[in-house]
Amino acid sequence: MVSILKFRRIFYTIEATRKESYGALRHCHSEKLCRVGLFWDLDNKPPNSIPPYEVANKLRIAAASFGVVRHMVAYANSHTFSHVPHVVRESRKERQLLYSLENKGVIKRNEPHLCRVCGRKFYTNEKLVNHFKQLHEREHAKRVNQIESARGSRKVKLVGKYSMKMDKYKKVARAVLTPKVGYGLADELKRAGFWVQTVLDRPQAADVALQKHMVDMMDHRRVECVVLVSDDSDFVDVIKEAKLRCLKTVVIGDISSNGVLKRTADTAFSWEEILMGKAKKEAVSVMENWKDRDILKRLEWTYNPDVDKKKLNMDDADAEASGDDDIEDIYDEIDNDYNDDKGSWWKLDSDDNDVTN
């Protein structure tokens, strides 16, 4: 009997927690989340001293504080992707010096270099790189060729078969091999989920392409909140256009010389606030201000003289027409009474005869 009571108690507690979680889930889905578009001007705000993947994740987390991030776009010319920042160049020089001393035997590592793909150990980094290129890089190229040459269901099976191996290779390759072009900016942003687009090496080419992309998104109503990563004042017109369409606007970047872009947007954050995570905390108050603004806009009365004048003229015309109709109805009643009394004099009943009688 005691065991049955314990079982019933556990069952009812599980049911209660399930209903509470289901109610909370329904409450979360009942509130419509804002669709956010993250647009990054890489020519103006490249992640020079910070790893690109880390910066991209920080931006995505900050943008997700305003709603659901549906689009993440980054534009730059080929020079931006091929450029190597000064910090990255200095770190590469230090590593090359260390590896050269290691090859000469001046420096000995306490632990050997480990290949993260197959687990083999090497005493110098040069032997590790040669092993990786001769064995694992060739295997990766064979897998890619097999997938590209296959068709239909066979291609799907090969992708599922080699997906874990290819992901493991890419992760190790980023640490072992030096990127052939730049410092891997495009690949790191793609890995973070950005749609990266390269434009021609012309002045303001990336700005024009990014502005067109933003306007196209607004025309098709794919975003309700625009998050722009830039300090360029050329984007002021796009931010104004977004505000005219009643979209939320957020600007991320350092304070420029005049700060026009940040003053135009609804809210703005600095580069340091994004990296330190302060933007996510401040986004709560920003969202509350947006909700209050939307409520006030619904309650706001606007005076449009043309519409009100037209409405007033229509009301006067209706009133005059209704008054004329009433007067005509009165005259019609009088005419009807008069027509009823018309007839020959000998057929009419006179009141004098009644009096004499």
**CA 265/CA 285 separation, integer angstroms:** 16
pTM attached to this predicted model:
0.68
User: Which of 313, 279, 303, 253 minimizes the C-alpha distance to 64?
Assistant: 279
Task: Give me the tens of pLDDT residue by residue for the chain, a chain 357 residues long.
Answer: 445 444 455 545 555 555 444 443 343 343 567 899 999 999 888 887 788 899 999 999 999 988 899 999 999 988 888 888 888 888 888 888 888 888 888 888 888 889 999 989 998 888 999 999 999 999 999 999 999 999 999 999 999 999 999 999 988 988 888 887 788 888 889 989 999 999 888 888 889 999 999 999 999 999 999 999 988 888 999 999 998 998 989 999 876 545 788 888 888 888 888 888 887 778 777 777 777 676 766 666 665 666 666 666 665 555 555 555 554 555 455 455 545 544 544 454 544 444 444
3-state secondary structure 274-330: HHHCHHHHHHHHHHHHHHHHHHHHHHCCCCCHHHHHHHHHHHHHHHHHHHHHHHHHH
**Structural tokens at position 170:** 């890419």
Can you name the residues that pair with 227 across neighbouring β-strands?
38, 250
N-to-C CA span, the chain: 113
